[in-house]
């Protein structure tokens, strides 16, 4: 949603980047991007807030006014977000796109992921109370994510004749992966969002193929997408799934 500068201003202390304002009860964070041509609003799914971006510090007051003029749009977008799912005993999350129930172990054990049996969903059994339980579940999910992403990255690198790059996990708010190409004295590296372990395997595999394709083609040109097609096939369904369900992955934890 875009806005051209209005003559009207909100008379209040001068706003600063990073400030948060309430727009009829909805949180809006202010940001400045010198490359922006107009004031705009966007939804930050991970933080569950709207970001009002202005092209300059001088225009931040206009960004506040614009946010207030679009209160209904902001409320509608935020109310449509999935409800947060805490990592606590009894909660049901998805792992590889399938239901997985979180269970508390009776004694200190290494977190264990048990596959589904019959009508019973998969189970992730972890030890601890309160925040300790949540941390244990998160460690298990990140470990599982690294195993699965390493396997798919290895497969795609082998197909490309490329060595396995350094791999790491992150919890980026707006990216599912990033690739830094190799250079003299510097190895290639790929960072993945650990939340991909919650998505169906074909979606995780698409992101791995996408990032591996960047090892040989740094941009998003037709040649890049040709490499993705070679590694993965048509990515349209996986891309659409992430666009439609990505907010659900960010709601976990």
Domain span at residue 175 reads 92-250
Q: Do 26 and 115 fall into the same domain?
A: no
Q: Do 151 and 60 fall into the same domain?
A: no
Distance CA 39, CA 157 (A): 42
Instruction: Look at residue 70 and tell me if it is in a domain.
Output: yes
Specify whether the CB–CB gap between 209 and 232 falls below 8 A: yes
Q: Which H/E stretch holds residue 248?
A: helix 236-250
**How do residues 43-100 score in pLDDT, each as one tens digit?**
988 788 999 999 999 999 999 999 999 999 999 999 888 889 999 999 999 999 999 9
| Number of Cα atoms under 13 Å in the Cβ half of residue 125 | 11
Read off the CATH number of the domain in which 99 is found: 3.30.2010.10
Distance CA 44, CA 35 (A): 19
Distance CA 172, CA 168 (A): 12
Q: Which H/E stretch holds residue 198?
A: none
Q: What is the pTM of this model?
A: 0.80
Residues 6+ apart with CB under 8 A from 195: 145, 171, 176, 249, 250, 252
Q: Do 179 and 54 fall into the same domain?
A: no
**How do residues 12-37 score in pLDDT, each as one tens digit?**
578 999 999 999 999 999 999 999 99
**How do residues 102-146 score in pLDDT, each as one tens digit?**
999 999 999 999 999 988 999 999 999 999 999 999 999 999 999
Using pLDDT thresholds of 50, 70 and 90, give the confidence band for residue 10.
Answer: very low
Instruction: Look at residue 225 and tell me if it is in a domain.
Output: yes
**How do residues 151-161 score in pLDDT, each as one tens digit?**
999 999 999 99
Instruction: Look at residue 85 and tell me if it is in a domain.
Output: no
């Amino acid at each position: 949603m875009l806005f051209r500068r209005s003559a009207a201003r909100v008379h209040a202390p001068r706003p600063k980047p990073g400030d948060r304002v309430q727009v009829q009860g909805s949180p809006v964070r202010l940001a400045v991007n010198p490359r922006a041509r107009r004031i705009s609003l966007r939804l930050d799914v991970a933080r569950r807030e709207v970001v009002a971006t202005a092209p300059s510090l001088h225009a931040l007051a206009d960004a506040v006014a614009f946010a207030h003029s679009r209160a209904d749009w902001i409320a509608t977008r935020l109310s449509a977000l999935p409800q947060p799912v805490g990592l606590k005993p009894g909660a049901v999350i998805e792992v590889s796109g399938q239901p997985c129930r979180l269970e508390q172990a009776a004694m200190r054990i290494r977190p264990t992921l048990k596959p589904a049996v019959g009508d019973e969903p998969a189970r992730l059994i972890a030890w601890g109370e309160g925040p300790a339980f949540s941390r244990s579940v998160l460690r298990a999910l990140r470990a599982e994510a690294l195993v699965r992403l390493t396997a798919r990255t290895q497969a795609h690198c082998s197909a490309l004749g490329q060595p396995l790059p350094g791999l790491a996990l992150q919890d980026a708010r707006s990216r599912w992966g990033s690739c830094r190409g190799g250079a003299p004295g510097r190895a290639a590296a790929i960072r993945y969002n650990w939340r991909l372990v919650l998505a169906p395997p074909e979606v995780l595999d698409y992101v791995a193929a996408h990032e591996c394709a960047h090892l040989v083609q740094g941009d998003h040109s037709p040649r890049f997408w040709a490499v993705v097609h070679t590694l993965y096939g048509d990515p349209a369904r996986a891309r659409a799934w992430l666009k439609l369900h990505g907010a659900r992955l960010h709601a976990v934890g």
